[in-house]
Chain A
Amino acid sequence: MNAAASPLIDMRAAARVIGTEVKTTLVEDMNVSIMPGEFVAITGPSGSGKSSLLYLMGLLDKPTTGEVYVRGLATSSLDEDTRARLRLETLGFVFQFHFLLPEFSARENVMLPMRAMAQLGETGMRKRADELLTQLGLEQHAHKLPEQLSGGQRQRVAIARALANDPQVILADEPTGNLDTASSEQVLTIFRQSTGGLTHEGSGRAVVIVTHDLDLAARAGRRIHIVDGRIVPL
Chain B
Amino acid sequence: MYAVVGAILLVASFGTFNIISTITHEKTRDIAIMKSLGLRQGVVLRIFVLEAFIIGVLGVIAGWVLGYAMTWALGLIEFKSPFMDADRLPVLYSPLHYAMAGAVGLGASLFAGYFPARKAAAVQPVDIIRGAS
Contacts and interface: CB of A to CB of B under 8 A. Distances in A.
B132 interface: yes
Contacts of A174: 133
B34 A112 contact: yes
A97 interface: yes
Contacts of B29: 99
Nearest to B33: A99
A101 interface: yes
Q: How large is the interface on A (under 10, 10 to 19, 20 to 34, 35 or more residues)?
A: 20 to 34
A85 B39 CA distance: 7
A93 B130 CA distance: 14
Contacts of A51: 130, 133
A89 B38 contact: yes
Contacts of A85: 38, 40
Contact of B42 (A81, A87, A161): A81
Given A84-B38, A88-B37, A113-B37, A60 B132 contact: no
Q: How large is the interface on B (under 10, 10 to 19, 20 to 34, 35 or more residues)?
A: 20 to 34
Interface string B7-22: 0000000000000000
A84 B124 contact: no
A211 B89 CA distance: 73
Given A80-B41, A81-B41, A61 B133 contact: no
Interface in A85-103: 85-89, 91, 93, 95-97, 99, 101-102
Interface in A55-94: 55, 58, 60-61, 80-81, 84-89, 91, 93
A21 B105 CA distance: 45
Contact of A116 (B30, B43, B133): B43
B38 A88 contact: yes
A113 B37 CA distance: 6
Contact of B37 (A61, A80, A93, A102): A93
B50 interface: no
B38 A101 contact: no
Contact of B40 (A60, A81, A102): A81
A99 B126 CA distance: 13
A130 interface: no
B125 interface: yes
Nearest to A101: B30
Which label, helix, strand, loop or mixed, suits the secondary structure of the B interface? helix
A91 B34 CA distance: 14
A112 B124 CA distance: 19
Contacts of A165: 38
A87 B33 CA distance: 12
Contacts of A28: none
B36 A60 contact: yes
A10 interface: no
Contacts of A88: 37-39
A64 B62 CA distance: 52
A84 B133 contact: no
Nearest to A87: B38
A173 interface: yes
Contacts of B43: 116
A108 to B, nearest CB: 13
Nearest to A58: B36
Interface of A: 51, 55, 58, 60-61, 80-81, 84-89, 91, 93, 95-97, 99, 101-102, 112-113, 116-117, 161, 165, 173-174
Q: Which 3 residue pairs are nearest across A and B when measured between Cβ atoms?
A: A88-B38, A87-B38, A60-B126
